[in-house]
Structure 1
Amino acid sequence: MNLFIKALLPLLLWLLTTSALAESISAIQELGRHLFFDTQLSLKGNRSCALCHSPTHGWSNTFTQTINIHGEPDTLNTPSLLNISQQTVFSLTNPSRTKVEMAITTPMFSIDPLEMGLTPDLLLSRLKKSASYSELFEQAYEDSDITLERVVHALKHYLTLIESRNTRFHRYLGGEEQALTSEEQEGFRLFNSVRLQCSRCHGGALLNQPEATISQYQNTGLYGISRQGEPPHYPAIEPGLRRHTSDHQDDGKFRVPSLINVANTGPWAHDGSVQSLASVIENYARGGRKTTYGPNQGDGFHHPNKSFLINGFSLTRSEKAALIAFLHSLSVEDDWTRHPFNSPFCVSNDKQTNTSPDGACSPIQHTQEHPK
């Protein structure tokens, strides 16, 4: 009997954890969950927050760049929402976005760049026509008044659920030495070494915090386009921080990202132009990426704004493998397929219906027509 109970213990603990999370979600968060997965939050009814920030793709997606409502790519790769409530800046390029509310409203209502293409009036008009939303707002706020402030508030509270440090790396930091293999531990040593200096930008609990004297925005030498005597620069379509400061010294600078779950959020770099973690490491080892074809030819090694930390380094084959193994140890081990991270618009059995080609759930059909 004792052996039987011991065998069942992991399952029982999982069930208790799942039940506790399901019970702990508030009515406001449940409303936020519905809004997060609902394609009514886009002009054409063909985009939801979850399409770009898929729970099963590291709260990001596999697109190179974010795709707008017309199927056109933006200039930036979609950042993960994992641990977003612990962030201090909510943009890869705009340091003025210091409130999470901006990360919610900008994709919905922004015209440049265009993402979901919605207007506040159209959003509220759609939600007010839905009996289900009337009930959800009633449960969340004790009256059925549907306002933009409440929409943003509910989404903000839902985002607080997207939080985890459930990685083998964090268990290792907590004293569980066997949580990392010897190869992964070697990768961690390299990550912190003077030779590589990775941890000088990727510090803190989320591995996104630079040292106090180092800016949160860095140029990593990804591009060094040089033509007609111009100094090396990034593509004009996406110059990074310079877009918002108009300062040429900010060309090619982007916010330092968190490395938690990094192995599950490819493609990588601010524009999704790097296809593997091995390539990421190779670019840093070279001291910048050299592009030999296409419109962005040039050598990022020579970019005048490149971070002083990126000067290149040498790695043996085994060291490179160890560093990649360490990055994989940062993967979150949570089950993002269960409530409250699954869509409320899917049937609740194994045989899902009404799904899009990428597996994302389609919303309940609403009576209003979407603009063409």
Structure 2
Amino acid sequence: MKKSLIVCVILVLLLALTGCIPFLNVGREETETPGLPSRLQGRETPAPPTPTQEVLTPPTESAEPVDENLYEDEYLGFSLTLLPGWQAEDGPFYSDGASIYIGTHNYAPDGAKVTVDYHYDMSMEAYADGLDSVLEGIAAEEGATLNIWARGESPVGMYDGYQITYSLLYPQGDVLTTTAYIADGGQGDCYMLYYGLGGDMSEDTAYATDAETIIHSLVLTGSQFDPDDLNMPTGTAEGASAVTDDFALNAGVLSPGDVAETYGTDYDELEEDGMLLFWYPNFNVAFARDDSGAYVMTGVDAIEETSPIAVGGVTVGMTLTEAQAAIESYGYRQNMDIWNGATTLYYEGYDEWGELVFVVINSQDGVVMMVRGTWGLAAEAAREAEMEQAGG
């Protein structure tokens, strides 16, 4: 009996300690631990261990540093790292590509610049194969002697490429030496990057080193160039659809025979003071002699809506808004230093060989009435004359 009593007391104490006898829990704090089954409620749960590693907040993402010397052209699909003091500017667009000029602020007089020509749908091999005839044609037009010093496969940065170094010796003794690279752009496209050393810069090895550094920083990103974007604007007036060609693409190239064969012989002709003029009913063409003594087209006036030649995409009958959009699509820029009334706009750009093209757009009531283009030395003279007349 005594032994049974002792066992009962021990059992009661155990039940009380486990909370199974409510009246013995008086004064004990009731606690519920969320998420525990009811049979485990009331038990003290151990506190989570104190983490030994400090909880860190995510680092603030800082913008990547901007390289002020990086030139990127998403449309033509490449980038170059320029050197301090060098700048890039758009060159002309043409039927199968476009050009970019890169140089220092004083590069123009001696042609000391890097030129990047993008050629759509033309492989590196095809362009390299045809380069000799192109150079021979340039030499013949300028009355110079062509010397090719080195040529062959040569990488351009990290890309397969082709290199050619040549010089043009002019009758007066001037020499222009050019190193050109053709980079394989992939997808049948190619890039030609070249620089020239002429005049006072013919011995400037520092400039050549800088030019080479820029050229070999080439990074190809994939071109978005579409030749369909370059369809010649035809204006809004009836007859403007007659446009078949553009002065900006043929200046310094077409001969009088080429013009007569292309546009017919319905013109009046005048030759004086080393100039040859063709007056057609709806446009005029001016020719001047090149270094070889041959006439090449250096000027055009489009005076009627039916003119078959546009100038920088501009035709008679366009609105000024259309005309500005057209000529700026060629990479030409308005010359704001010349002001001769709100009805006249002046634009200038350069062809793929770096020759100036100067464009004058005359309008009335917001519609183009005449557009004139001049090229090369004629363009420089025309620009100077307009600036003098405007008091610029």
Q: Shorter chain as normaliser: what TM range?
A: under 0.3
Give TM-score scaled by structure 1 length. 0.22
* Bigger relative contact order, structure 1 or 2 (CA pairs below 8 A, ≥6 apart): 1
More helix by share: 1
- Look at both structures and tell me which one has the larger radius of gyration over its CA atoms: 2
Q: Which has the higher strand share?
A: 2
